[in-house]
Amino acid sequence: MAVAIQNLTTRLNLTGRGWGRGLDWTLGRERDPWSGGYRISFSSEVKSELSGLIPARTCCQLAELSGVFYSTRGRLIQTGNGNAAYFSLLRNSVARKVVRLSRSLAQVDAKYHAERHAKRTAFFIEVPLPAALEPAFTLPAARALPTKPCDRKNFFRGFFLGCGSVNAPSTRYHLELVAPTLGWATVLLCLLHEAQVRAGVVERAGQHVVYVKDAEGIVRCLQLMGGNRAVMEFENVRVVRDVRAQVNRRLNFETANIDKTIGSAMRQVEAIRKLDEDQGLETLPPSLREMARRRTENPELNLSELATLMNLSKSAVNHRLRRLVEISETGAEVSKTASR
Ligand SMILES: [Zn+2]
């Protein structure tokens, strides 16, 4: 254990930054390689919101802190006076939360330190543990899940903050937790099952990833963790998505109708052409001759539009067009029809 402290000290000396309060918490943001600006993903937004929530009760605070601890493979280290929980984190908002939780939970000031690597910043936090809290940080996965519902929620939130992520609702519905071990994946599946969330587990690069792939399940998870803003944003985007899907369905339907309109107009135009060829349009009564001309000139118009154009009722237009097609198909009735 003394080795761990030694490593810690070495790391401090390497970066030339001591423990302290002057830490720049903005270091954890990621640079967007395309725009050069800071990229704020939906996952980051959700985690920022969840990091800002500090549970009121001590039991819940302990549950959440241990959730972050186990999900990030935290270790217990020996210090000059007793043991400390040692966290390595990759997100500044979560690091800040660990510091705040330990302050209100154990009235201890955590030692923290940030280390900048090429791509991202790592945060190392050492929380001195009062003897009474120690057992909560030494449990095997199978027994680490708290029993009280309030604590389970906070434990889950801590766990998500440590190893979870969620896609923006505008993309593929996907929430996942990269469990530290298969045992932890099983524990998470149980927890989600109890919360009526359908979840699965998949092995990816030797790690066990617990995932939720349906919108209801993801909303349920966000609710469970108390991410009200995230739930609202998720639901808003989801509504827009649903409406867009409806509009698309409707557009397809209308396109089909337009095809139908054009189809029948083409049949009518063709019938009129044939009629003209067979017997000449001049043999028709003026009303039908006018109709034939208008239809031929405006094949793209539907019945209502033709009716407006000719200042007639829709049914009159429909009737005249049907007559034209009829006459064209049965040339024999021409003179009779024409006389009427
Ligand atoms: Zn509680």
Quick one: pLDDT at residue 1? 39
Query: How far from 248 is each of 19, 39, 168, 169, 217, CA to CA, in Å?
Result: 57, 31, 22, 19, 25
Indicate the pTM of the whole model.
0.64
43 Cα to the center of ligand 1, angstroms: 25
338 Cα to the center of ligand 1, angstroms: 91
79 Cα to the center of ligand 1, angstroms: 29
57 Cα to the center of ligand 1, angstroms: 6
Is residue 96 in some structural domain?
A: yes
Is residue 231 in some structural domain?
A: no
Quick one: pLDDT at residue 243? 81
112 Cα to the center of ligand 1, angstroms: 26
In this structure, what CATH number is given to the domain that contains residue 25? 3.10.28.10
3-state SS, one letter per residue, for 5-60? HHHHHHHHHHHCCCCCCCCCHHHHCCECCCCCCECCCHHHHHHHHHHCCCCCCHHH
158 Cα to the center of ligand 1, angstroms: 13
82 Cα to the center of ligand 1, angstroms: 26
Is residue 304 in some structural domain?
A: yes
Quick one: pLDDT at residue 37? 47
**Which tens digits make up the pLDDT trace of 84-123?**
999 999 888 999 999 999 998 888 888 888 888 877 889 9
Quick one: pLDDT at residue 244? 79
Quick one: pLDDT at residue 34? 44
218 Cα to the center of ligand 1, angstroms: 23
Which stretches of the chain drop beneath a pLDDT of 50? 1-38, 334-340
Quick one: pLDDT at residue 253? 75
Domain identity same for 213 and 299 = no
151 Cα to the center of ligand 1, angstroms: 4
Q: Which residue stretches of 84-210 are H helix?
A: 92-106, 141-144, 149-163, 182-194
User: Which residue has tokens 């984190």?
Assistant: 89
Domain identity same for 200 and 60 = yes
3-state secondary structure of 127: strand
**Which tens digits make up the pLDDT trace of 242-253?**
887 888 777 777
Buried b (16+ CB within 10 A) or exposed e, 72-97: bebeebebeeebbbbbebebbbbbbb
126 Cα to the center of ligand 1, angstroms: 23
Quick one: pLDDT at residue 230? 92
67 Cα to the center of ligand 1, angstroms: 13
Is residue 293 in some structural domain?
A: yes
Is residue 242 in some structural domain?
A: no
The rounded distance, in Å, linking the Cα atoms of 184 and 159 is 10
User: Which residue has tokens 């990030």?
Assistant: 72
What is the tally of structural domains in the chain?
2
Q: CB atoms < 10 A from the CB of 12, how many?
A: 16
Quick one: pLDDT at residue 150? 93
Q: Is 331 left (phi over 0), alpha (psi -120 to 50) or beta?
A: alpha
User: Based on the number of CB atoms within 10 Å of its own CB, is 134 exposed (0-12), middle (13-18) or buried (19 or more)?
Assistant: middle
49 Cα to the center of ligand 1, angstroms: 20
Domain identity same for 169 and 268 = no
Quick one: pLDDT at residue 57? 94
Give the domain extent around 332: 252-339
62 Cα to the center of ligand 1, angstroms: 8
209 Cα to the center of ligand 1, angstroms: 27
154 Cα to the center of ligand 1, angstroms: 8
Domain identity same for 210 and 321 = no
Domain identity same for 181 and 309 = no
50 Cα to the center of ligand 1, angstroms: 16
Name the token pair of 331: 């040339």
Name the token pair of 219: 């909303």
Quick one: pLDDT at residue 246? 80
DSSP state, 226? T
